[in-house]
Structure 1
Amino acid sequence: MDNFSRKYMYVHAGNSLKASKAIQVMETITYGNEMLPKRIKVDNVSRYISKILDRRAYENEVELDFSRPEKPPNNLFIKSFNASTKDECLKVN
């Protein structure tokens, strides 16, 4: 999701997004001639990052922006987005 325009290119619902799925999303976006984001917010510490995802991000000039562990203010925006998206999806059903 773009922090400024509040637009998002892809939504994945689930408990986690594995590196393989993130790579698939990046490929889907580029295949559809959409621009990749300049930065992807990653809420895990760097020791969990996939080397393949890191390489793909580097090849596509996408910065992986890691949130600091145990620093909740860094995740407030995405937590708010996740909560509102969840509420919106639940209202539909």
Structure 2
Amino acid sequence: RIWQLLRREGLHVNHKRVYRLYHLSGLGVKRRRRRKGLATERLPLLRPAAPNLTWSMDFVMDALSTGRRIKCLTCVDDFTKECLTVTVAFGISGVQVTRILDSIALFRGYPATIRTDQGPEFTCRALDQWAFEHGVELRLIQPGKPTQNGFIESFNGRFRDE
């Protein structure tokens, strides 16, 4: 990038020389470290044996007539297929997801397992800490495989139609 800026100013210098001098001067920009996802075991989609054992969560995106995007957090009990919540907001963070789950748990209790995709709201530290504190196991599906979270994807398809 520096080499390109020098060329734009009319200086014709070998790019290897620019690289060498740049690093000798200690001007190198540190690379940002990539955040690693949570290490979880991936298990097949099984039908739960009783209500409130497994919940599935996902986001549905939509747009208002003004063009502004909205997010809908949907949560379904996998055994009863009951919709536990549909929360609509312009943006929902991981901390807000934990608050929503706490409000559901006031009436239903905490599930044994929550199945989600690997979105940033579901892989954040806040949700991981919440799950640990309440004894809830988080199961993340493989990236690009929505069929592993079929219960919520089926619900979201009907939700979009309505």
TM-score (norm 1): 0.72
Does the 8 Å CA contact 1:23/1:53 hold for their aligned counterparts?
A: yes
Q: Matches of 2:158 and 2:89 in 1, distance apart?
A: 14
Measured on the aligned residues, the alpha-carbon RMSD in Å equals 2.5
Map of 1:19 onto structure 2:
94
Q: CA deviation at 1:70?
A: 2.5
Any idea what SS the aligned residue of 1:6 has?
coil
User: Which has more helix, going by share of residues?
Assistant: 1
Return the letter of the residue paired with 1:39: T
CA shift, 1:59, in A, is 0.8
Change (3 A) 1:67 1:51: same
Measure how far apart 1:16 and its partner are.
7.1
TM-score (norm. length: structure 2): 0.45
| Alignment gaps of 5+ in structure 1 | 89-93
Q: Residues 81 and 62 of structure 1: is their aligned pair in 2 closer, same or farther, counting only changes over 3 Å? A: same
More divergent stretch after superposition (52-61 vs 13-22): 13-22
* Structure 1 residues 82 and 39: CA distance shift in structure 2, 3 A: same
Q: Which moved more, 1:76-85 or 1:5-14?
A: 5-14
How many residues end up aligned between the 2 structures?
86
* Contact map agreement 1:45 1:66 (CA 8 A) in 2: no
| Higher share of residues assigned strand | 2
Q: Find the structure with the greater CA-based Rg.
A: 2
1:4 aligns with 2:88: no
Q: 1:34 to 1:72 in 2, by over 3 A?
A: closer
Tell me by how many angstroms 1:3 deviates: 1.2
CA distance in 1, matches of 2:119, 2:107: 31
Identity value in percent: 29
- Gap regions ≥5 residues in structure 2: 1-75
- Report what 1:60 is aligned to: 134
